[in-house]
Amino acid sequence: MRGYISSLLVISVVLKLCYGFVHPIAIHGRYFIDTVTREPFFVKGVDYQPGGSSAVNEQQDPLSDPNACARDIILFQELGVNTIRVYSINPDLNHDHCMTLLASAGIYLVLDVNSPLENQHLNRYEPWTTYNEDYLEHVFKVIEQFSSYNNTLGFFAGNEIINDKKSARASPVFVKKLISDMKTYIAQHSPRFVPVGYSAADDLSYRISLSKYLECSNERSIQDAVDFYGVNTYQWCGEQTFYTSGYDVLVADYEDYVRPVFFSEFGCNEVTPRLFEEIGTIYSNDMIGVFSGGLVYEFSQEPNNYGLVEINQYGNVELLQDFESLKNQYATTDVPNGRQVAELYNRDGKKQKLGAQAIPECDEEYDNLDISKTVDEGIAEDLIKEGVDSKKGKYVVLQEDDFYTSYNITNVDGTPFSGDKYVKVTTLIDGITEYEALRLQALESDGE
């Protein structure tokens, strides 16, 4: 088997994996699309923050340790995911190795720009005290680094910042201004368009009003409108159906949304072990006209008991029963393709609009939200004009040992892990186009 992986690595070195030929994902109407194949992209993934918020500091974060990344990417591939969400990182650390490993495995990243560290997040109750140059410098440093990776799917401007009456009065305009500042910075400093979204609490008081407020724009540049919208929901518990779970209501709530919507967290644990039977519904015709997949909460076992794996103090991993359940569900559920989506939109003579739709204009008010506050327009101006001092991320050439991990992995029954113990290269072997190969050859001849 090592001979097989060695042959793949020879190819990867010759073709210079550092150029990262995982296709960037863009937005077309209410769908994510692969910019090369033009196929719709459905998120099929997990939320990933081993160690929780306390694991982010000056020395480490979830994407800074190549050995741990290799260990977990092996398990991402075992699950069959195409996307992970990371809630916080330290942009002063180097993430090139882990992002290259993810790219080589064909896995995308949705990244939150906030962190629990000082000056790196919004105070939801007094956002005017934290929306300052120090905070924006952190946000823009995250953008500087991660927008250079092709497998960065998008950035979350916030996670459940509006989650009660007090935050609904204080924070909406600051979230919208952050989205605007992020998109403006990306437009001026990033090598490509990277979408910006928001991850919302599934609260009936704000579900529709907040999504509509973040969707709208009165600006001709639509810089203050989200590019996608994530919903954190845990309403499918145990054995449910599309209707008994209330998923039918969710679909109805977002059926007119003009940008992609997906579950940024799902996986109720009120009934254990979790069955994850909602996955078959999420990728069915009942939902793919509105929702673009979702992310299971969460990869590692933390105090809230949602983990798929247990990571001990030495970095060794034990698979939990939920891991096997999720693996089985993902393995038996196909991600929809463009033909299925087109047939869905054309069935019964509905001829619904599949492509881009106009961003709606903003209303003067939204239920249960205070949008009357103002934000100083000049806070981000100089940072956007000059840019921030941060090293841009780049893909690196990987060696054979980089694809392995020194950590031990055990199955649910305590036996040694039965799957492959190396990260399998997929992006260069499965689907590298003639154009890409020729471009790499040209880069080689130019001595790059």
Do 315 and 407 contact (CB within 8 A), yes or no? yes
C-alpha closest to that of 216 among 186, 179, 188, 263: 179
The two three-digit tokens of residue 135, written as one number: 């905070």
Largest Cα span, the chain: 65
Chain position carrying tokens 């077309």: 28
Q: In what order do the strands lie in the sheet with 31-34?
A: 25-28, 31-34, 40-41
Q: Which of 78, 144, 215, 265 is catalytic?
A: 265
- Annotated active-site residue 434? The verdict is no
Closest CA to 82 of 108, 117, 115: 108
Long-range (24+ apart) CB contacts under 8 A made by 402-405 are 402/66, 402/70, 402/97, 402/101, 403/5, 403/9, 403/70, 403/101, 403/104, 404/70, 405/67, 405/68, 405/70, 405/71, 405/74
Catalytic option among 144, 160, 215, 278: 160
Alpha carbons 25 and 10: distance in angstroms, whole number: 27
Q: Is residue 365 annotated as part of the catalytic site, yes or no? A: no
Q: Count CB neighbours of 356 within 10 A.
A: 13
Judge whether 404 and 9 are in contact, CB under 8 Å: no
Residues annotated as catalytic are: 160, 265
